């Protein structure tokens, strides 16, 4: 299996890592009673925990076009080396994006988001010129 497909798997589960931070870091950790209504609990968090939750939501939003881009680029005959490079770069940028979100670096977060989005667009272009 090509590296880019592994990146799709990583991207699918990356948002869970961000919400894990939201649930178990900080002063107000999620307890067993809170887990009965996790969305209500997450809605009440503040600061880094709230931003980690938002990073999770954004990760779910970014995943479908990325996964489609990888699949389309591969089946369209795009260069596997380029597809792998773009997929790995997307994962690295999304990890940095999550860190920027949690640590409240809004301007850098926007730049990193743009870079990861550019990787997704480039995957489609790679497939188109394949």
pLDDT, tens digit, 9 for 90 and up, residues 6-61:
999 999 999 999 999 988 886 677 665 567 788 888 888 889 999 999 999 999 99
pLDDT at 103: 97
Alpha helices in 25-46 (DSSP H): 38-44
Q: Has domain 3-129 been given CATH number 1.20.120.550?
A: yes
Torsion of CA 80, 82, 83, 88, to 10 degrees: 120
Residues with Cβ within 8 Å of residue 63, at least 6 apart in sequence: 11, 12, 15
pTM beyond 0.95, yes or no: no
**Digit-coded pLDDT (tens) for 98-116:** 999 999 999 999 999 999 9
Domain ranges in the chain are 3-129
């Amino acid at each position: 299996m090509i590296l880019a497909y592994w990146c799709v798997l990583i991207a699918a589960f990356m948002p869970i890592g961000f919400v894990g931070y939201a649930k178990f870091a900080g002063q107000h950790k999620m307890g067993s009673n809170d887990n009965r209504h996790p969305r209500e609990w997450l809605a009440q968090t503040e600061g880094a925990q709230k931003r980690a939750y938002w990073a999770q939501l954004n990760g779910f939003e970014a995943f479908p076009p990325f996964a489609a881009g990888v699949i389309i680029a591969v089946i369209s005959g795009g260069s596997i080396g380029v597809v792998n490079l773009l997929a790995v770069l997307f994962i690295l940028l999304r990890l940095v994006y999550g860190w920027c979100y949690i640590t409240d670096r809004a301007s850098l977060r926007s730049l990193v988001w743009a870079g990861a989005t550019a990787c997704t667009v480039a995957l489609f272009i790679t497939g188109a010129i394949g």
